[in-house]
Amino acid sequence: MKKTIGIIGAGNIGKAVAAHLIKNGYTVKISNSKQPDTLKETIAQLGNGATAVTVDEAAEADIVFLALPWSKVKDLTQLTNWNNKIVIDATNHFKPDYSVEDLGGRNSSDVVQDYLKGARIIKAFNTLAAKILAANPVEANGHRVLFISGNDNEAKQQVSDIIKNIGFAPIDLGLLSAGGKLQEAKSALSLQNLIKI
Ligand SMILES: NC(=O)c1ccc[n+]([C@@H]2O[C@H](COP(=O)([O-])OP(=O)(O)OC[C@H]3O[C@@H](n4cnc5c(N)ncnc54)[C@H](OP(=O)(O)O)[C@@H]3O)[C@@H](O)[C@H]2O)c1
Protein backbone atom coordinates (compact mmCIF):
# COMPACT_ATOMS: atom_id res chain seq x y z
CA MET A 1 0.00 0.00 0.00
CA LYS A 2 1.44 3.35 -1.04
CA LYS A 3 1.78 5.98 1.68
CA THR A 4 -0.49 8.97 2.14
CA ILE A 5 1.18 12.27 1.40
CA GLY A 6 0.06 15.42 3.22
CA ILE A 7 0.48 18.50 1.05
CA ILE A 8 0.67 21.95 2.62
CA GLY A 9 -0.15 24.50 -0.06
CA ALA A 10 -2.63 23.99 -2.89
CA GLY A 11 -1.31 26.41 -5.48
CA ASN A 12 0.71 25.73 -8.64
CA ILE A 13 3.19 23.30 -7.08
CA GLY A 14 0.85 21.58 -4.62
CA LYS A 15 -1.72 20.82 -7.31
CA ALA A 16 0.88 19.68 -9.87
CA VAL A 17 2.44 17.21 -7.44
CA ALA A 18 -0.93 16.03 -6.16
CA ALA A 19 -2.01 15.21 -9.72
CA HIS A 20 1.11 13.10 -10.39
CA LEU A 21 0.76 11.28 -7.06
CA ILE A 22 -2.91 10.46 -7.56
CA LYS A 23 -2.37 9.31 -11.13
CA ASN A 24 0.15 6.82 -9.75
CA GLY A 25 -1.92 5.38 -6.93
CA TYR A 26 -0.99 7.55 -3.94
CA THR A 27 -3.50 9.07 -1.56
CA VAL A 28 -3.18 12.79 -1.03
CA LYS A 29 -4.43 15.07 1.74
CA ILE A 30 -4.10 18.62 0.53
CA SER A 31 -4.50 21.87 2.44
CA ASN A 32 -4.30 25.61 1.95
CA SER A 33 -4.35 28.56 4.34
CA LYS A 34 -8.15 28.44 4.65
CA GLN A 35 -10.83 25.87 5.44
CA PRO A 36 -10.93 22.64 3.38
CA ASP A 37 -14.25 23.53 1.72
CA THR A 38 -12.43 26.25 -0.25
CA LEU A 39 -10.66 23.41 -2.10
CA LYS A 40 -13.82 21.80 -3.56
CA GLU A 41 -12.89 22.71 -7.12
CA THR A 42 -9.33 21.45 -6.68
CA ILE A 43 -10.56 18.13 -5.30
CA ALA A 44 -13.02 17.77 -8.17
CA GLN A 45 -10.16 18.33 -10.64
CA LEU A 46 -7.80 15.94 -8.86
CA GLY A 47 -10.40 13.17 -8.59
CA ASN A 48 -10.40 10.00 -6.48
CA GLY A 49 -7.50 9.80 -4.09
CA ALA A 50 -7.50 13.44 -3.02
CA THR A 51 -9.08 14.83 0.14
CA ALA A 52 -9.12 18.45 1.27
CA VAL A 53 -7.98 18.82 4.87
CA THR A 54 -6.79 21.47 7.31
CA VAL A 55 -3.08 22.23 7.51
CA ASP A 56 -2.97 20.39 10.85
CA GLU A 57 -4.39 17.25 9.27
CA ALA A 58 -1.99 17.44 6.32
CA ALA A 59 0.89 17.67 8.79
CA GLU A 60 -0.21 14.41 10.45
CA ALA A 61 0.68 12.35 7.34
CA ASP A 62 3.85 10.21 7.43
CA ILE A 63 5.27 12.21 4.55
CA VAL A 64 4.54 15.94 4.33
CA PHE A 65 5.12 17.99 1.18
CA LEU A 66 5.79 21.73 1.62
CA ALA A 67 4.26 23.73 -1.25
CA LEU A 68 3.64 27.03 0.46
CA PRO A 69 5.50 30.34 0.32
CA TRP A 70 8.86 30.30 2.04
CA SER A 71 7.84 33.19 4.30
CA LYS A 72 5.06 30.99 5.77
CA VAL A 73 7.12 27.91 6.65
CA LYS A 74 7.95 29.31 10.07
CA ASP A 75 4.20 29.23 10.88
CA LEU A 76 4.29 25.41 10.75
CA THR A 77 6.57 24.89 13.78
CA GLN A 78 3.82 24.09 16.30
CA LEU A 79 1.49 22.17 13.96
CA THR A 80 2.63 18.68 14.88
CA ASN A 81 5.48 16.69 16.35
CA TRP A 82 7.85 16.86 13.38
CA ASN A 83 10.34 14.46 14.92
CA ASN A 84 11.28 11.73 12.40
CA LYS A 85 8.64 12.83 9.86
CA ILE A 86 9.75 12.92 6.24
CA VAL A 87 9.28 16.44 4.91
CA ILE A 88 9.74 17.13 1.21
CA ASP A 89 10.77 20.75 0.91
CA ALA A 90 9.79 22.24 -2.46
CA THR A 91 10.02 25.83 -1.25
CA ASN A 92 12.31 28.49 -2.66
CA HIS A 93 13.45 31.24 -0.32
CA PHE A 94 11.93 34.13 -2.20
CA LYS A 95 10.61 37.15 -0.37
CA PRO A 96 7.14 38.37 -1.41
CA ASP A 97 8.86 40.76 -3.91
CA TYR A 98 10.76 37.77 -5.44
CA SER A 99 14.15 38.89 -4.26
CA VAL A 100 16.02 36.10 -2.49
CA GLU A 101 16.18 36.25 1.28
CA ASP A 102 19.67 36.65 2.75
CA LEU A 103 20.27 33.51 4.84
CA GLY A 104 23.85 34.40 5.74
CA GLY A 105 25.29 31.60 3.59
CA ARG A 106 23.04 28.84 4.98
CA ASN A 107 20.98 26.75 2.59
CA SER A 108 17.25 27.26 2.81
CA SER A 109 16.41 23.69 3.83
CA ASP A 110 18.73 24.01 6.83
CA VAL A 111 16.59 26.93 7.91
CA VAL A 112 13.45 24.83 7.32
CA GLN A 113 15.08 22.21 9.55
CA ASP A 114 15.32 24.81 12.33
CA TYR A 115 11.57 25.46 12.04
CA LEU A 116 10.56 21.77 11.91
CA LYS A 117 12.58 20.20 14.71
CA GLY A 118 13.62 16.59 14.13
CA ALA A 119 12.00 16.31 10.69
CA ARG A 120 13.89 14.42 7.99
CA ILE A 121 14.07 17.18 5.39
CA ILE A 122 14.47 16.21 1.76
CA LYS A 123 14.83 19.03 -0.72
CA ALA A 124 13.17 18.17 -4.04
CA PHE A 125 10.60 19.40 -6.58
CA ASN A 126 11.82 23.00 -6.23
CA THR A 127 13.95 23.45 -9.35
CA LEU A 128 11.34 23.12 -12.11
CA ALA A 129 8.87 25.81 -13.05
CA ALA A 130 5.37 24.75 -12.00
CA LYS A 131 4.07 24.33 -15.57
CA ILE A 132 6.94 21.99 -16.43
CA LEU A 133 6.53 20.07 -13.19
CA ALA A 134 2.85 19.61 -14.06
CA ALA A 135 3.58 18.21 -17.53
CA ASN A 136 4.06 14.55 -18.43
CA PRO A 137 7.49 13.60 -17.00
CA VAL A 138 8.07 11.03 -19.73
CA GLU A 139 9.53 12.86 -22.71
CA ALA A 140 11.84 12.00 -25.63
CA ASN A 141 11.95 8.38 -24.43
CA GLY A 142 13.38 9.56 -21.13
CA HIS A 143 12.26 10.83 -17.74
CA ARG A 144 12.33 14.41 -16.49
CA VAL A 145 14.99 14.93 -13.82
CA LEU A 146 14.20 15.93 -10.26
CA PHE A 147 17.18 16.79 -8.09
CA ILE A 148 17.08 15.62 -4.51
CA SER A 149 19.24 16.19 -1.46
CA GLY A 150 18.99 15.42 2.21
CA ASN A 151 20.92 14.29 5.25
CA ASP A 152 18.91 11.13 6.03
CA ASN A 153 19.61 8.35 3.52
CA GLU A 154 16.58 6.24 4.38
CA ALA A 155 14.24 9.21 3.94
CA LYS A 156 15.99 10.15 0.73
CA GLN A 157 15.48 6.61 -0.57
CA GLN A 158 11.76 6.79 0.20
CA VAL A 159 11.42 10.11 -1.62
CA SER A 160 13.52 8.82 -4.55
CA ASP A 161 11.14 5.87 -4.84
CA ILE A 162 8.15 8.21 -4.92
CA ILE A 163 9.86 10.32 -7.59
CA LYS A 164 10.48 7.21 -9.72
CA ASN A 165 6.96 5.88 -9.13
CA ILE A 166 5.43 9.08 -10.52
CA GLY A 167 7.57 9.00 -13.67
CA PHE A 168 10.51 11.32 -12.92
CA ALA A 169 14.23 10.50 -12.69
CA PRO A 170 15.77 11.41 -9.30
CA ILE A 171 19.38 12.63 -9.22
CA ASP A 172 20.87 12.54 -5.73
CA LEU A 173 23.05 15.56 -5.00
CA GLY A 174 24.06 14.41 -1.53
CA LEU A 175 23.74 16.35 1.71
CA LEU A 176 21.69 19.52 2.11
CA SER A 177 24.88 21.51 2.70
CA ALA A 178 26.05 20.66 -0.84
CA GLY A 179 23.03 19.56 -2.89
CA GLY A 180 20.60 21.89 -1.18
CA LYS A 181 22.81 24.79 -2.16
CA LEU A 182 22.91 23.72 -5.82
CA GLN A 183 19.14 23.31 -5.90
CA GLU A 184 18.03 26.49 -4.22
CA ALA A 185 16.53 29.59 -5.81
CA LYS A 186 18.80 31.35 -8.34
CA SER A 187 21.47 28.61 -8.07
CA ALA A 188 23.11 26.57 -10.84
CA LEU A 189 20.32 24.01 -11.13
CA SER A 190 17.40 26.33 -10.60
CA LEU A 191 14.87 26.05 -13.48
CA GLN A 192 16.98 23.48 -15.38
CA ASN A 193 14.65 21.17 -17.29
CA LEU A 194 16.63 18.01 -18.07
CA ILE A 195 15.56 14.63 -19.46
CA LYS A 196 17.45 11.52 -18.37
CA ILE A 197 17.58 9.13 -21.33
N1 LIG B 1 5.59 28.37 -9.00
C2 LIG B 1 6.75 27.82 -9.35
O3 LIG B 1 7.10 27.76 -10.56
C4 LIG B 1 7.62 27.21 -8.30
C5 LIG B 1 8.68 26.38 -8.71
C6 LIG B 1 9.47 25.76 -7.75
C7 LIG B 1 9.23 25.98 -6.39
N8 LIG B 1 8.23 26.83 -6.02
C9 LIG B 1 8.02 27.05 -4.57
O10 LIG B 1 6.89 26.27 -4.18
C11 LIG B 1 6.16 26.96 -3.15
C12 LIG B 1 4.73 27.13 -3.64
O13 LIG B 1 4.72 27.90 -4.84
P14 LIG B 1 3.38 28.04 -5.69
O15 LIG B 1 3.79 28.68 -6.98
O16 LIG B 1 2.64 26.76 -5.70
O17 LIG B 1 2.59 29.11 -4.81
P18 LIG B 1 1.05 29.51 -4.90
O19 LIG B 1 0.47 29.09 -6.20
O20 LIG B 1 0.99 30.94 -4.49
O21 LIG B 1 0.36 28.61 -3.76
C22 LIG B 1 0.74 28.74 -2.43
C23 LIG B 1 -0.19 27.89 -1.59
O24 LIG B 1 0.25 27.93 -0.23
C25 LIG B 1 -0.88 28.15 0.61
N26 LIG B 1 -0.47 28.77 1.86
C27 LIG B 1 -0.02 30.02 2.09
N28 LIG B 1 0.24 30.19 3.39
C29 LIG B 1 -0.07 29.02 4.00
C30 LIG B 1 -0.04 28.59 5.34
N31 LIG B 1 0.39 29.38 6.35
N32 LIG B 1 -0.45 27.33 5.60
C33 LIG B 1 -0.88 26.53 4.61
N34 LIG B 1 -0.93 26.88 3.33
C35 LIG B 1 -0.53 28.12 3.02
C36 LIG B 1 -1.78 29.04 -0.20
O37 LIG B 1 -3.07 28.97 0.34
P38 LIG B 1 -4.27 29.94 -0.13
O39 LIG B 1 -4.67 29.43 -1.48
O40 LIG B 1 -5.30 29.71 0.92
O41 LIG B 1 -3.70 31.32 -0.18
C42 LIG B 1 -1.66 28.39 -1.58
O43 LIG B 1 -2.54 27.29 -1.68
C44 LIG B 1 6.89 28.28 -2.92
O45 LIG B 1 7.76 28.14 -1.82
C46 LIG B 1 7.69 28.48 -4.22
O47 LIG B 1 8.85 29.26 -4.02
C48 LIG B 1 7.41 27.43 -6.94
Architecture of the domain made up of 4-196: 3-Layer(aba) Sandwich (3.40)
Indicate whether 1 pLDDT > 80: no
pLDDT of residue 81: 97
Distance 125 CA to ligand 1 centre (A): 13
pLDDT per residue as tens digits for the range 13-59: 999 999 999 999 999 999 999 999 999 999 999 999 999 999 999 99
Band of residue 2 on the pLDDT scale cut at 50, 70, 90: confident
Q: How far apart are CA 156 and CA 98, in angstroms?
A: 29
Given this model, what pLDDT does residue 96 score?
87
Q: Which residues line ligand 1 (CB under 6 A)?
A: 8-14, 31-34, 55, 67-70, 72, 75, 90-92, 94, 126, 129-130
Atom of ligand 1 nearest to the CA of 34: 40
122 C-alpha to center of ligand 1: Å?
18
Return all residues near 12 (Cβ < 8 A) that are at least 6 apart: 130, 131, 134
Ligand 1 centroid to 159 CA: how many Å?
20
Q: Give the separation between CA 32 and CA 4, rounded to whole angstroms.
A: 17
Q: Where are the domains of the chain?
A: 4-196
Of the pLDDT bands very low, low, confident and very high (cuts 50, 70, 90), residue 181 is: very high
| CB 124, CB 88: distance < 8 Å | yes
The stretch 116-122 carries a mean pLDDT of 98
| Proportion of the chain above pLDDT 70, given as a percent | 100
User: Residue 140 has what DSSP assignment?
Assistant: T
Q: Whose C-alpha lies nearest to ligand 1, atom 29? A: 33
71-83: average pLDDT? 97
Report the separation in Å between the CA atom of 144 and the middle of ligand 1, taken as the mean of its atom positions: 22
Is the model's pTM score more than 0.95?
Answer: yes
- pLDDT averaged over every residue in the chain: 97
For the cut 80, the answer to whether the pLDDT of residue 125 exceeds it is: yes
Instruction: Write out 82-117 in H/E/C secondary structure.
Output: CCCCEEEECCCCECCCCCECCCCCCCHHHHHHHHCC
User: What percentage of the chain reaches a pLDDT higher than 90?
Assistant: 96
